[in-house]
Structure 1
Amino acid sequence: MRILGLTILFTVLAVLLLGCGGSKSLQSASECDMPEWYSNVPQDPNYLFSAKSATSQDMQLSLDKATTDARTEIGRQTELKVQGLQKKFDEEVGVGNDAQLLQQFTQANKTVVSTSLSGTKVRSQKLCKDGDIWRSYVLVEYPVGAANEALMQQLKKNEQMYTRFRSSQTFKELDEDVQKYEDWKKTQQSQPTGTEGK
């Protein structure tokens, strides 16, 4: 009877110890909850946002993969935005009827997308480790004004496009947006960074 009692006691203790050990792994998994900005990507008319996640056994690789995916998504969003402007220009001045102009606008679009990929900034990131796997959450942003500015520069480089588009309402709106972005950049440059005097 005494042996049976000790066996039951050891079994209960073993179950309790295993139960405590299991709660630690649950606790580390709960630390890996996705951030709020991942499930509810910010909305701002002045920015394009992309939130992506990636996993890897290497921490830096998981961050790099998530950042690359987010930047690629920003590139797609930028391309759609420029295509929307192209459609507006086409409705106003007939881009689609001129093959050379259409090809030049397509080239400008590619340049703007390329510029957007290099102009993105990681706004937030979160790293979690679950066993041997790292999970990275990354939120990347890109100012819409920068895309507009890059498109305007491309339009101005091509005299034929610039001459054709500058009288359109879409061009005027684009020009106003670029000016607002330029003004915003000036205010950002004049603000202290918070590291001065430290």
Structure 2
Amino acid sequence: MKRRTLLAGLGSLTAANSLIVGSGAFTSISADRTINAEIADDNRALLAIHERGDSRYGVGGRSNESGDTVTFSFPGVGRRLNNDDPGVGLGVDSVYEFTQDSGEADSQSPKQGLARIQNQGTQSVEVYSVHETSSELEIELFDVTNPDRTALRDDPTVMNVGDHVDVGFRIRTTGTDLGTHDETLTIVAEATDD
């Protein structure tokens, strides 16, 4: 038993070293500045999350609803797949606000918001978002109908039973390293004291 533990430990140590050691030499470099955010599944939960736009229209679709999961990609997946330019993506030291899916831009009556958060529970809730990361990225949700666009983390919205809020994303890249970042944004609903 102890021997297996030791061998597993040595295997882990060897794998860690192989990730650290490198020659540092390269002949070319490209940067894919992309952020993927995935929202937890189950659109039938007490707090439902639905894709607001229709990413099937136009190139770039930032949101995609598949089964019970809504995922977001900045720039849109279609834009990345149809463009060999490594410069496609979010720039560093910038602030971006996404208020609708890129596929909605050409629509006569575009849907505002990338996602709809709906209270399907039996009591009022206060909804806000939490972004914990080891990178310099900041990702926030905001109510697209609020002219101040205050982040939900700073000003949670109270939703009665059946209410919804259409949200956009604000992404701050100040001090962020180039590369692909997989980030998690947690949407929290807490019961209010009625």
TM-score range, shorter chain: under 0.3
Relative to its length, the structure with more strand (as a share) is 2
Flag the structure with larger Rg: 1
Normalised TM-score (structure 1): 0.22
